[in-house]
Amino acid sequence: MPPPDNDTHILICDCQGTMPLDEAGPALRRACPAGAQATELCRSQLGRFEEMLAETAAEGARLTVACTQEAPLFREVAGEKADLLRFVNIRENAGWSDEAASAGPKMAALLAMASAPQSEFEFVTMESRGIALILAADEAGVALGTKLADTLDITVLLRPGAEVMPRSATVFPVWQGRARAAEGYLSAFRVEVDDFAAPLPSSRGALRFGPARDGAVSQADLILDVSGQSALFPPGLRPGYLRADPRDPAAMARLTDEARGMVGTFDKPRFIDFRADLCAHSRSRQTGCTRCLDVCPAGAIAPDGDTVRIDPMICAGCGQCASVCPTGAAGYALPDAPAVAGQLRAGLAAYHKAAGEADPAPVVLFHDGDHGTPLIAACAHLGPGLPARVIPFELNETTRLAPELIAAAMAYGADVAVLTAARPRHDQGALEAALALCAEIGAAIGRAAPRIIATDDPDALARETRDLPRGPVRQARSGFLPPSDKRGLLVTGMAELLRTAPDAPEELPLAPGAPFGAVIVDPDACVLCHACTGACPTGALLDNPEAPQLRFTESACVQCGLCARICPEDAITLRPRISLPAWDQPRRTLHEEAPFACISCGKGFATASAIEAVKARLAGHWMFAGGGESRLDLLEMCEDCRAAEAVKRGFEPHQSS
């Protein structure tokens, strides 16, 4: 069993003297007093690694090694002890920079982040037998099938009208058809085909086909789309759907190589942890929150009764659903938000501990591994490297970045930037909304707005990171412990960001769509029917079993709008805002009335406004106005008295007069 995450030893290396660790040393020693230093750890000093690993194992601890380039070597040497190792890159991220001599606080932050507790995640399994459907418009599709026939079970579907020479031997079937719709994922695709027809064996100059029919169905493990037509799925977002321009030889070669490897069993991360009990999508056939449905680019999310369903086989891992989910029902798991916040807390605490009074405030640069990591490395290898105050933080996808993580970084005393590609793979609407929300809050307290650096150029990255606003290192910051749930982290992060600011407003109005706010109740319209409390998915609206009251916990409100939609009196409106005084009140009363006294026994029940509303609605109903006698006074009686009076009057509720 791995040792506790908080018991970690550190081993750093200056990579044959190419990093000025001696100059950065005081800052490192202040933050990491247990650290050990080497200069050629992967070669002549490999014995030092083995010695420290043995000591670490004997103590039941972990060992963080500040080298990622030689991680395979260290794992091989460690053998069965490899699960005790963690690795962090301080070379490209800090040491190879024209500001390396002052990068000690950043190195301390990187080491602390790597040593912080990590979260675990699950996998889902897909098994491909190699049954491949090639969608083609011409000979290119048949040629592709010929190349892959030794590896895959090929079927080619030619678009109607294609001119293709018949083969001398039928190695794989070639059909005619037009793919009308498709669903599924790697190992489980289903394609609906119109104009489907079989080839005539007597075809001579070109393949000819027999009678066509619509509505045929083809099932496959893979779809190789070289048709040149509109994509069946968003390119790059559906496992097992490979697409290339048949006129691009390089793209066709890449598709061929990739398709050869798509046979066997594949483990895919379950990117999203979903809790249906927290979902605010719908109640009583009224639609509330649709944020995740609106942003999912892969079509992995669908309504499912009062909640939604996220298909882990289809999910592409962009994390936008988790970014916009206000309740925590959808949480990104690779890693989860509380674990990321814990790393930020550890790293920024180490930075502030090591930094001097004159050092500028740190900037957390969120980036991904596919684009950001190699770009930062190129900036270090070929250019000036990152500034000493810019701390790279790798995420699986930058689009999973949510307001709670941005707010946490800012509350811990850092400014925030996000590195993306010039042409990102995923839509960035959710990311931009998260940054805009935090910028709105930051502007109210004089903090630099989080920003996006969208570039593929390492020189541009170097320029833009040096041009970031420079705040004082001692700017207001919190040291709060991250709650273990996503919504708790969102509320706590925002509250701490505001509470630590010297001039924060008590109430901050927000734009519609924000995940915080108040419910405003019109007392003249509300009859305390409590339809809203039954619909509220987060428990923000509550009744009082002891008295006719509507109570509200503002910090729990996600502004889903279900209460306003379901209110029969149209008595509710929403007000997006952050109000710390309101958040500090666990429950406050929005509306209350005295109980209505039963006209027969005097017992309190319902409210006068509710009784009047019901009477107004039923005034013309035959059950209460039948036989020329008004029975509306029955509605002013409690349940027991109403039943007794109905028997006394001979009132049969199931027959009209």
The mean per-residue pLDDT over the stretch 262-267 comes to 95
Q: What is the DSSP letter of 93?
A: I
With 70 as the cut, is the pLDDT of residue 185 above it? yes
**Proportion of the chain above pLDDT 70, given as a percent:** 95
pLDDT for res 630: 64
Buried b (16+ CB within 10 A) or exposed e, 211-244: ebeeebebebbbbbbbbbeeebbeeebbbbbbbb
pLDDT for res 228: 93
pLDDT for res 622: 63
Give 249-263 as a DSSP string.
HHHHHHHHHHHHT--
Residue 218 CA to its chain's centroid (Å): 33
pLDDT for res 33: 57
First vs last C-alpha separation in the chain: 78
pLDDT for res 386: 98
pLDDT for res 593: 85
Q: Name the phi and psi angles at 147, rounded to 5.
A: -65, -30
| pLDDT tens track for 500-527 | 988 889 899 999 999 999 999 999 899 8
**2 — pLDDT class (breaks 50, 70, 90):** very low
With 50 as the cut, is the pLDDT of residue 4 above it? no
Alpha-carbon distance 407 to 198, whole Å?
Answer: 60
For 6, other C-beta atoms within 10 Å of its C-beta total 11
**280 — pLDDT class (breaks 50, 70, 90):** very high
pLDDT for res 607: 78
**474 — pLDDT class (breaks 50, 70, 90):** confident
pLDDT for res 656: 45
The mean per-residue pLDDT over the stretch 373-390 comes to 98
With 90 as the cut, is the pLDDT of residue 595 above it? no
| pLDDT tens track for 310-332 | 999 999 999 999 999 999 999 99
Quick check: helix, strand or coil at residue 353?
helix
Alpha-carbon distance 339 to 353, whole Å?
Answer: 21
For helices 458-466 and 372-382, the axis angle rounded to 10 degrees is 90
With 80 as the cut, is the pLDDT of residue 557 above it? yes
Assess contact for 183 and 190: CB atoms under 8 A.
yes
User: Which tokens go with 624?
Assistant: 């209460």
Which residue did the predictor score with more confidence, 226 or 643? 226
Assess contact for 280 and 288: CB atoms under 8 A.
yes
For 67, other C-beta atoms within 10 Å of its C-beta total 21
Count Cβ atoms within 10 A of the Cβ of residue 25 and give its class: 0-12 exposed, 13-18 middle, 19 or more buried.
Answer: middle
pLDDT for res 160: 95
Alpha-carbon distance 344 to 393, whole Å?
Answer: 9
| pLDDT tens track for 562-580 | 999 999 999 999 999 999 9
Threshold 0.85, pTM exceeds:
yes
| pLDDT tens track for 20-79 | 988 877 777 766 655 688 999 999 999 999 999 999 999 999 999 999 999 999 999 999
Residue 472, phi-psi category: left (phi > 0), alpha (psi -120 to 50), beta (remainder): beta
SS3 of 290-312: the string is CHHHHHCCCCCEEEECCEEEECC
With 80 as the cut, is the pLDDT of residue 624 above it? no
Assess contact for 135 and 146: CB atoms under 8 A.
no
Token pair 């150029």 is at which residue? 457
pLDDT for res 1: 34
Which residue did the predictor score with more confidence, 642 or 561? 561
Pairing mode, strands 507-509 and 451-454: unpaired
**654 — pLDDT class (breaks 50, 70, 90):** very low
For 253, other C-beta atoms within 10 Å of its C-beta total 12
pLDDT for res 629: 55
**242 — pLDDT class (breaks 50, 70, 90):** very high
Quick check: helix, strand or coil at residue 15?
coil
Pairing mode, strands 307-310 and 301-304: antiparallel
CA distances from 248 to 163, 236, 252, 544 (A): 20, 17, 6, 68
Closest CA to 341 of 483, 449, 448, 477: 483
The mean per-residue pLDDT over the stretch 158-171 comes to 91
Assess contact for 446 and 467: CB atoms under 8 A.
no
The mean per-residue pLDDT over the stretch 289-307 comes to 95
Closest CA to 66 of 99, 3, 24, 119: 24
With 70 as the cut, is the pLDDT of residue 361 above it? yes
Identify any residues that bridge with 331 across adjacent strands, giving them in sequence order: 273
CA Rg, the chain, in Å? 32
Closest CA to 402 of 489, 317, 507: 489
**Proportion of the chain above pLDDT 90, given as a percent:** 77
For helices 403-411 and 429-444, the axis angle rounded to 10 degrees is 30
Element (H, E) at 441: helix 429-444
Assess contact for 422 and 455: CB atoms under 8 A.
yes
